[in-house]
Structure 1
Amino acid sequence: MKKILFLILFFLSFNVFSQNNERTLILLDSDSNVPIEDAVVLVLKTKQVLMTNKEGTVVFELKGGSNVKVTHSSYLPLNIKWASLNQPENIIYLKSKLNRLDDIVITKQHPQEIVKELVDNSIKRLSVPARLKAYSREFFKLNGAYAYFNDGLINFQLYRDQKKVKSILLVEQNRSFGLIDDEISSDLLGYNLNVMMEKYYVFSALRPLLDVKSKKKYSFIVKVSPVNEEYNEILAIPVEGSDELLDDFKIVYDVKRKLIIEVNAEVSGISLAKVEEETKKGSKNLIRSVFKTNYRIDLNNYYLVSSKEEINYEINAGNEIKNIEVLNNLVTTNFNIQNFTYKESDVFKDKTLFNIKNSILTDYWNVSGLTPTAKELEIINKIINSF
């Protein structure tokens, strides 16, 4: 009976998207017409944050009008008047910063010292204690085929514990489904949500750049765009000849406030090519790793807006080689610095949403800020219809 009720709720939820107040934005590169992924779309009236998917699309509903602000580290920011969004589906073109002449900044400080200063200042300025309500979504692929899916509306209760930032996780709603019968170790299913949030608030991804030895491992460049001097970028690229598995880094920061706005880290293709493949049983060989976080400054508040983590690796299971891929997205739907109370029994203590029973009260995924692509929606529908 519960499955029947869930299916009815699921399909009815998509009819909501036909209402007159819905708007679809499709962001494209003005030169190439290529969809722009991971752009932050802020609805100024409600402070709702949305992230464009791989098709460059966001879908949202709003009673009444509101201007919209679009930002992306590779494109010029754009403010959109609500009156101009007069169609259910609106194509928006962004101008790239990459094909414009960037100035290289010459500083007395070594760029590594700038990174250290940015990390220290950003950790101090992040608004804690606070509560982040967020939508989390994760796809799990086995040998190239979609195998598991979960998403949920969750609350992170953030607090400081000495020099660390800790989080308490409260799950409001969630759903989790599998498509395969293969037995997969539970530690392969998904990212640990508490660990993720805690590392976002201490910028753990940037630790390789803070090591004293990093000056010999990386080439650092500080750049500023002549058309957007509010933000600078620091690029850190592994030097040639290194035999370690290292990431390419890009850090976008607010020049005046000395606060990190965006962190990008992707394992270097050159590094991957030089790492020897492990062949022992249980060994893992990395194929791809992507990490991205966005932060927002809103008056006196400074907090995480979104994150994306993707990892692809092969694991030697003895009798076969399994290809594992995990795709995780998180978008903040509400931020608040007020004190909150909760029952200890409400605290979610497992690692991932795969370890909790489904709890669906509303069509929370429709107001998540993260619109599935056509392929992702096909996979989700396939999962739901299999039950």
Structure 2
Amino acid sequence: MNKITLLFFLLFSSIIWSQTVERELILKDADTNLPIVDATVYIVRTKQSLLSNSNGVVTFDLKGTTNITVTHTAYDKITLKSSILTEKQYTIYLKSNLNDLDEIVVSRKHPQKILKDLIKNSIAKLNVPARLKVYSREFFKLNGNYSYYTDGLMNFQIFSKANNFKSNILVEQNRSYGLVEQEITENLLGYNFNNIMENYYNFKYLEPLLESKALKEYDFAIKIYSANKDYYLLTASPTENAKGLLDDYTIIYDPNKKMIVEVSSFVSQATLSKIKEKNSRGAKNIYKSLFKTIYRIDGNHYYLLTSKEEIAFERIDKKKVTDVEVRNYFVTTQFSTKNFLFDESDVFKDKNLFNRKNTILTEYWNDSGLVPTDEEKSIIEAIGKL
């Protein structure tokens, strides 16, 4: 190869790899062929995190060569070279970590005490100060019909004082569609951005398990996590005689690092069936409630990766019953320990994005870290026409 040919080849290669191309991965279970939800796809070059949706789909832009890692608590980690992704769409099969282990972990400490220690250590290990670039998405359903939608791309600068986590928020872009009655808007039970990081970084959703009465209300157990032998699974389920709207909890954690990886809870139908309906004005009869957070451990970095919440209830008004359902997603697309510069006047101080004027500079939702499913796209489009 002469010098002119070599120079042309290098120049052509540089042009090719400087171009941005879109790629789509479909993540599936190697044994069942079912889509894998909540898998993390990490683009090493851009330090971008993405989360697979309910169809197992992740989309992202590639510019140049990079490694791509795919992780999930229940599957073997894999690393891909971007150079092999020559087509627009690829199906990736992950091998399940599922094993026959169902061993109870025996300890002199009560699981509640272990949980307290886990929370204390996890709080200490969370990177603060830090900056999280976050995509938030919320669906609002009124009387069985989707009637409101909002999403936004935001920067959270987290700081703390004696484990009292606070954050400054800058909204880059956002959009809101649909109409919501004023009386319902005040009771959406959607994300409250004023304290959301404080809640997640203090593991506030686990507080009911730390109270002394929880020893009587819950059955605690710790097992080796059957989907990944490197993790333990701590469960807390309401006892048969427990009263009230109590959640079933599962906490996945690393027993060596003593750090929480995942928290999920839901109110079971068995619990709901024992709850007496309220008829007083302003009362809320909850019939669905679930919550899930995932935290990422990446070397010395430890931070909130994603959360999902769903709640549905009947609100008793003076002359009618209103059915309300809210579904929220929260995804950290990029993490940094560096602070960003801002003017105090730019800080977002409202509780949510519902009343904020739309600011759309790019189609940011296409690079949000969480691809909407076809069903969600149709819902968003329909609400946008209201």
Give TM-score scaled by structure 2 length. 0.89
Partner of 1:277: 277
Provide the C-alpha distance between the structure 1 equivalents of 2:308 and 2:180, rounded to a whole number of angstroms.
Answer: 28
Distance 1:100 1:86, change over 3 A: farther
The C-alpha deviation readout for 1:136-188, integer Å capped at 9, x for no partner, is 1111111121111111111112111333111121111111111x475543223
Partner of 2:322: 322
Partner of 1:14: none
Distance 1:121 1:32, change over 3 A: same
Preserved CA contact (<8 Å) 2:168 2:347: yes
Q: 97-106 or 112-121, which moves further after superposition?
A: 97-106
Distance 1:78 1:323, change over 3 A: farther
Partner of 1:105: 105
SS at match of 1:233: strand
Preserved CA contact (<8 Å) 1:97 1:225: no
Q: CA deviation at 1:307?
A: 1.0
Partner of 2:196: 196
Partner of 1:229: 229
Partner of 1:130: 130
Read off the aligned partner of 1:365 and give its amino acid letter.
W
Percent identity (aligned)? 50
Preserved CA contact (<8 Å) 2:134 2:331: yes
Q: 326-335 or 20-29, which moves further after superposition?
A: 20-29
Partner of 1:161: 161
Provide the C-alpha distance between the structure 1 equivalents of 2:144 and 2:33, rounded to a whole number of angstroms.
Answer: 28
Give TM-score scaled by structure 1 length. 0.88
Partner of 1:120: 120
Q: 86-95 or 346-355, which moves further after superposition?
A: 86-95
SS at match of 1:272: helix
Distance 1:30 1:339, change over 3 A: closer
The C-alpha deviation readout for 1:30-66, integer Å capped at 9, x for no partner, is 3433322222222233221111112121111111233
The answer for unaligned runs of 5 or more in structure 2 is 1-18
Provide the C-alpha distance between the structure 1 equivalents of 2:97 and 2:314, rounded to a whole number of angstroms.
Answer: 36
The two structures, once aligned, show a CA RMSD in angstroms of 2.1
The C-alpha deviation readout for 1:228-267, integer Å capped at 9, x for no partner, is 4332221112122212211111111122211111111111
Partner of 2:149: 149
Q: Which one has a bigger Cα radius of gyration?
A: 2
Read off the aligned partner of 1:223 and give its amino acid letter.
K
Partner of 1:268: 268
Q: 249-258 or 110-119, which moves further after superposition?
A: 249-258
Q: 70-79 or 240-249, which moves further after superposition?
A: 70-79
Partner of 1:185: 184
Read off the aligned partner of 2:361 and give its amino acid letter.
L
Partner of 1:356: 356
Residue 29 (1) aligns with residue 8 (2) = no
Read off the aligned partner of 2:54 and give its amino acid letter.
K
Q: CA deviation at 1:135?
A: 0.7
Preserved CA contact (<8 Å) 2:148 2:180: no
Runs of 4+ in 1 over 6 A off after TM superposition: none
SS at match of 2:63: coil
Work out the number of aligned pairs and report it.
Answer: 367
Provide the C-alpha distance between the structure 1 equivalents of 2:270 and 2:94, rounded to a whole number of angstroms.
Answer: 31
Q: 221-230 or 50-59, which moves further after superposition?
A: 221-230
Distance 1:170 1:29, change over 3 A: same
Preserved CA contact (<8 Å) 2:99 2:227: no
Read off the aligned partner of 1:35 and give its amino acid letter.
P
Residue 259 (1) aligns with residue 259 (2) = yes
SS at match of 1:352: coil
Partner of 1:70: 70
Read off the aligned partner of 1:233 and give its amino acid letter.
L
SS at match of 2:230: strand
